Amino acid sequence: MQGLRLSLAVIAIAATGCTSSPSSTATPPSTGLTAQGHIHGTFTLTAGPVPACMGQSPCPSGYFQVEKNATITVTRRDGTVAATATTNASGVFGFDVPPGTYTVSAPQQEEPGHYSATVTVNNGATVNVSLQITEP
């Protein structure tokens, strides 16, 4: 009999702890995470025709080099810096940022090139950016 009372008490406690709320007013628990998108890119140096080559066949028509250890900056529309990163040995960089519009830029060199790009990042999406130093 004592086991039956204990079982009934447990059932009563479990039943009173269960409540239901309409699904239209329920809010999911906060995870503390904010929406994120991703910026992925490369920073390279390219050049025009290589001066006369000796002993190479075929002679390369241009020059390509990755820019490693370069600082890349992501700036918000209001001009504040959202993030910075350093390119890896392959000239690659990446950022996780909240959705929005940003300017991604590399340090300006003496040579002409494409040193910045304005991108719009959406939640869960990746935007690819190519920054490039161009020599004649």
Encoding tokens for residue 43?
């920073």
Q: Is the dihedral of CA 92, 46, 108, 70 positive or negative?
A: positive
pLDDT at 58: 57
pLDDT at 62: 65
Place of tokens 């519009």: 101
Q: What is the pLDDT along the chain (136 residues), one digit of tens a residue?
A: 444 333 333 333 333 343 333 323 333 334 456 789 999 999 998 876 655 555 555 555 667 788 999 999 999 999 999 999 999 999 999 999 999 999 999 988 788 888 999 999 999 999 999 999 887 6
pLDDT at 51: 54
| pTM to 2 decimal places | 0.65
Place of tokens 């080559």: 53
pLDDT at 9: 35
pLDDT at 135: 75
- The CA-based diameter of the chain, rounded to the nearest angstrom, is 102
The full set of domains in the chain, from first to last, is: 35-135 (2.60.40.10)
